[in-house]
Each structure stands twice: as structure tokens, then as C-alpha cells.
């Protein structure tokens, strides 16, 4: 097992400076109506900075906020900033979510107050979406015998919230995932890499078992269709079977563990993954259907108006074949 994407030791002041610089750049955009930080910085050097920018509905910009960042700032803003137009932001805030938004500019967001049980349905669906995304990510890393360590630290910690939403606080996976917190705290103190690798193997196995149980007990909703494409090499098939298979394309059957994220991504394209789990028609649950329509609209809006901002929507963008 090889570790890539290793966390870098950085002081909390580096986060403050990076956030101040990014906030200054964004506030120069004339269509900006709000800027919010998601989450908090709990472990400097491991935590990243997540920002959500909100714009006027008809405002369009090709401004790329991560372009020309310093190496340190690019590390802290590990992925594209989130961006939504006002209409989609209000829709997002009208339903429950796991996002904790701290206003940096603009009005404080209102707390969602859904009725008629819609809150529980949406929380369950969102938790499943993120856990399925984690399952897919870990399956790829297991196949490649390569661990994206910083990403694993961040995603595993976030998964605790999803497991709590699904009432799995006492599960084997929850107990194992909670051990990520001392690993995060001790990473820069030269921890036992062998023990860390052993914990990761057990964690991956527990996640696989838990996902088979969750997807049996909780329905996952999406638009109708038996076969979906998630990305160029990930397919989802709807059915009673729960699990996944991986095939390596081309003349290769195995290759050395990659030593960087760029090589990892290139080699992983030679693999194709097929995930099997039941998918029910989202139209039978109106709040979830409305959520899916909003996410389709937000993705389409950002493609034309905010191409360098990611919409704050489900990590699972499944397209029926």
C-alpha cells in the first residue's frame, strides 16, 4: 500500500491569509451577493477551505478563482470553489442539509423548515449519496493499492455525519471511522505508518459490508433507468444485487502503485468499475424529485454562467444510458 496526497504541515495563520486573499478577489466581482465558508478548520495542514459564492441570477463570469494561486493557497483550496445563483441558493437553503455556513459577506442564511416528513427523506438521501461516493472512491484506491491520504482523512471524518443521519452511530463502520480523528491529530508527530495501513484495510472492509447493508435497508432514489453513467469509467446498474466489480482495460492486468495523484488518475482510467445496487424512481417521492430537478438546473446554470464554480449539489451525477 502506497500513500500519496500526504498532508503538509501548515499553521492556522496560513488559512487566515489564504481566506483573506480569496475573499478580496471574489468581492471584486460585481454580481456577488453572498460569500459563505463551509465547515471549520479543525486540523491545520489536513483541513481544506470550502467556500460558497452566491451570485445574482443572470450574472455570468468566466473568472477562475483558483487561477494564479500560490502553491500553498492551491493546497488549501483543494478543489473548485462552490457557486450558485440566488435562485438555486434559496432552493438549497429551503431544504435540510449537513452544511454549516458561516457568512463572510452578505446576509446570514435562513434555517430550513421543511414539513410533512420531507426533512427525514432528504437527509437520508443526502447521506446515502455521500456514502456511495465514499464507497466508490475507496474501491478505486483499494484496486490501485494507493491511498490518497489527505482525502481519506477528510472524507472519513465527514462520513461520521452521514452515518449519524442514518442512525448508524453504534455500527462497526462508525466506530472505525471515528478513529480517523486521532490519526488526523497525530499525523505530523510521525505516527506508526504500518498501524495506519492496517486500520485503512479494516476500514475499507467495514465500509463495503456497511454499504451492502445500507443499500438493502434504505431505498436510493434517482430518475428512472436501469443503467447509469457516473463518470468515464464508473457505471451503476440498478437491481437487487449489491456490490461492485472492477475490470482493467487494455493489455495491463496490474501495474505498480502510482507515486502521485496525477499518475494515479492516469492509471485509474485503465480500470472500469460497475456498481450494483437498487435504484427507485425518484418521482414517487416529491421532495426528492424537486431536489433532483434543482440540482439539474444548478449544473446547467453553472455550465453557462459560472463555469469555474462547482454547484453545491449531490456528488452523484448519474446519467441514464
- Beta strands of the chain (E only): which ranges? 2-4, 32-38, 50-55, 82-85, 101-105, 146-148, 221-222, 227-231, 234-237, 243-248, 271-276, 280-281, 319-320
pLDDT-derived band at 117, boundaries 50, 70, 90: low
Q: Which domain holds residue 98?
A: 2-115
CA torsion 206→197→232→256, rounded to 10°?
A: -140
pLDDT-derived band at 242, boundaries 50, 70, 90: very high
Query: Quick one: pLDDT at residue 80?
Result: 95
Q: Which of 106, 30, 26 is nearest to 67 (CA)?
A: 26
Do 252 and 269 touch, CB atoms closer than 8 A?
no
> How far apart, in whole angstroms, are the C-alpha atoms of residue 319 and residue 119?
25
Crossing angle of helices 261-268 and 118-144, rounded to 10°: 90
The pLDDT of residue 127 is above 80: yes
> How far apart, in whole angstroms, are the C-alpha atoms of residue 300 and residue 11?
38
Look at residue 208 and tell me if it is in a domain.
no
Query: Quick one: pLDDT at residue 47?
Result: 96
Look at residue 7 and tell me if it is in a domain.
yes
Q: Which of 244, 239, 243, 242 is nearest to 225 (CA)?
A: 239
> How far apart, in whole angstroms, are the C-alpha atoms of residue 239 and residue 88?
32
> How far apart, in whole angstroms, are the C-alpha atoms of residue 261 and residue 2?
12
CATH of the domain at 6: 3.30.460.10
Query: Quick one: pLDDT at residue 12?
Result: 95
Query: Quick one: pLDDT at residue 35?
Result: 97
Query: Quick one: pLDDT at residue 257?
Result: 63
Instruction: List pLDDT tens digits, range 41-50.
Output: 999 999 999 9
Look at residue 71 and tell me if it is in a domain.
yes
Look at residue 289 and tell me if it is in a domain.
no
Look at residue 101 and tell me if it is in a domain.
yes
How many structural domains are present in the chain?
1
Q: Which of 86-100, 168-182, 206-220, 281-295 has the lowest mean pLDDT?
A: 86-100
Query: Quick one: pLDDT at residue 268?
Result: 83
Query: Quick one: pLDDT at residue 98?
Result: 67
Look at residue 111 and tell me if it is in a domain.
yes
Which pairs with CB-CB distance under 8 Å and at least 24 residues apart come from 121-126? 121/285, 121/287, 121/288, 122/95, 122/96, 122/97, 122/287, 122/288, 122/291, 123/96, 123/98, 123/165, 124/165, 124/166, 124/218, 125/220, 125/221, 125/288, 125/291, 126/97, 126/98, 126/162, 126/165, 126/314
pLDDT (mean) for 169-189: 93
Query: Quick one: pLDDT at residue 11?
Result: 95
- Beta strands of 145-211 (E only): which ranges? 146-148
- Concatenate the DSSP letters of all residues of 128-161 into one string: HHHHHHHHHHHHHHHHHTEEEHHHHHHHHHHHHH
Look at residue 63 and tell me if it is in a domain.
yes
The pLDDT of residue 256 is above 80: no
What average pLDDT does the structure give for the chain?
A: 90
The DSSP secondary-structure symbol of 231 reads E
Look at residue 273 and tell me if it is in a domain.
no
The pLDDT of residue 13 is above 90: yes
pLDDT (mean) for 191-201: 91
Residues 6 or more apart whose CB falls under 8 angstroms from that of 308 comprise 62, 63, 64, 65, 66, 67, 80
The pLDDT of residue 104 is above 90: yes
Query: Quick one: pLDDT at residue 113?
Result: 54
pLDDT-derived band at 248, boundaries 50, 70, 90: confident
Instruction: List pLDDT tens digits, range 66-85.
Output: 999 999 999 999 999 999 99
Q: Which of 59-63, 224-228, 247-251, 296-300 has the lowest mean pLDDT?
A: 247-251
> How far apart, in whole angstroms, are the C-alpha atoms of residue 41 and residue 17?
13
pLDDT (mean) for 18-33: 96
pLDDT-derived band at 169, boundaries 50, 70, 90: very high
Amino acid at each position: 500500500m502506497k500513500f500519496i496526497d500526504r498532508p503538509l504541515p501548515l499553521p492556522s495563520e496560513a488559512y487566515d491569509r489564504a481566506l483573506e486573499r480569496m475573499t478580496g478577489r471574489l468581492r471584486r466581482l460585481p454580481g456577488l451577493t453572498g460569500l459563505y465558508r463551509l465547515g471549520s478548520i479543525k486540523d491545520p495542514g489536513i483541513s481544506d477551505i470550502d467556500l460558497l459564492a452566491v451570485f445574482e441570477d443572470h450574472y455570468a463570469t468566466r473568472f477562475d478563482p483558483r487561477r494564479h494561486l500560490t502553491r500553498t493557497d492551491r493546497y488549501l483550496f483543494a478543489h473548485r470553489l462552490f457557486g450558485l445563483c440566488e435562485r438555486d441558493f434559496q432552493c438549497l437553503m429551503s431544504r435540510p442539509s449537513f452544511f454549516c455556513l458561516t457568512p463572510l459577506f452578505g446576509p446570514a442564511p435562513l434555517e430550513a423548515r421543511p414539513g410533512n416528513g420531507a426533512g427525514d427523506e432528504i437527509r437520508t438521501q443526502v447521506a446515502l449519496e455521500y456514502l456511495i461516493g465514499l464507497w466508490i472512491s475507496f474501491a478505486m484506491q483499494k484496486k490501485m493499492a494507493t491511498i490518497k491520504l489527505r482525502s481519506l482523512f477528510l472524507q472519513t471524518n465527514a462520513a461520521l455525519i452521514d452515518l449519524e443521519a442514518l442512525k448508524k452511530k453504534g455500527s462497526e463502520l462508525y466506530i472505525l471511522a471515528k478513529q480517523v480523528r486521532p490519526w488526523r491529530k497525530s499525523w505530523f508527530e510521525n505516527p506508526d505508518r504500518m498501524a495506519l495501513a492496517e486500520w485503512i484495510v479494516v476500514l475499507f472492509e467495514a465500509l463495503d459490508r456497511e454499504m451492502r447493508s445500507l443499500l438493502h435497508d434504505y431505498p436510493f432514489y434517482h430518475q428512472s433507468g436501469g443503467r447509469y453513467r457516473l463518470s468515464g469509467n464508473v457505471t451503476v446498474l440498478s437491481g437487487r444485487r449489491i456490490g461492485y466489480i472492477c475490470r482493467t482495460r487494455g493489455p495491463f492486468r496490474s501495474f505498480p502503485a502510482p507515486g502521485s495523484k496525477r499518475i494515479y488518475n492516469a492509471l485509474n482510467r485503465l480500470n472500469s468499475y460497475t456498481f450494483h445496487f437498487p435504484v427507485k424512481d425518484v418521482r414517487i417521492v416529491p421532495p426528492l424529485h424537486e431536489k433532483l430537478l434543482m440540482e439539474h438546473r444548478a449544473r446547467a446554470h453553472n455550465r453557462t454562467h459560472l463555469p469555474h464554480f462547482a454547484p453545491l449539489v449531490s456528488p452523484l451525477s448519474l446519467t441514464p444510458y
